[in-house]
A = this chain, B = another copy of it.
Amino acid sequence: MKNYDKNNYFSPDLSNRERATFEIGIKLGALYHLLSGVPISSNEKVIESIEKGFEASISCQPYVKSVKLKIIKDKIKGNKSTELDYDEISGEKIKATVIIEYKSIKVVAKIEWIEKLQYPLMFIEKIEEL
C-alpha cells in the first residue's frame, strides 16, 4: 500500500486547493453522519468521552491534522433523572473544527449550527498555502 499514486483516479485538472477542499468535505460529511443519533446526556464526563471518541476516530482519516468536537451542553436535554431522561446528538448540538493538510495546502473547516439558517452549516473558514 506504500507506492501507489492515488491521484491517477482524480481529474488531472484538479488543483491542490480543490483537492484539499474535497478532502475536508468528506471528513465533515462523515463526522456529521457518524454523530447523528448517538445517545448522550448532559453529564460532563459523558459528553467529554463522546467528544474524545469521535475526535480520535476522524483523526484516522486521510490528511487530517486535528479534530476538535464540542457537543453543546446547553442544548442537551436530559440528565438521567429518569430512565428516559437523555438525549441524542443532532445537528443543532454539534460544533466541530477539522484541519487537514493536503500537500502544501492547509484547510480549516467547521460544522456549526447557524440559528438564522436553522441549519448545521459546514463551511471552510480558512484555506492557505503552507
Contact = CB atoms under 8 A, between A and B. Distances in A.
The count of identical subunits is 4
B39 A58 contact: yes
Nearest to A27: B29
B46 A1 contact: no
Interface residues of A, number: 77
B53 A11 contact: no
Contacts of A78: 60
Nearest to A54: B53
Interface of A: 1-2, 4, 6, 9-11, 13-15, 17-19, 21-41, 45-46, 49-63, 78, 80-88, 90-91, 109, 112, 114, 116-119, 121-127
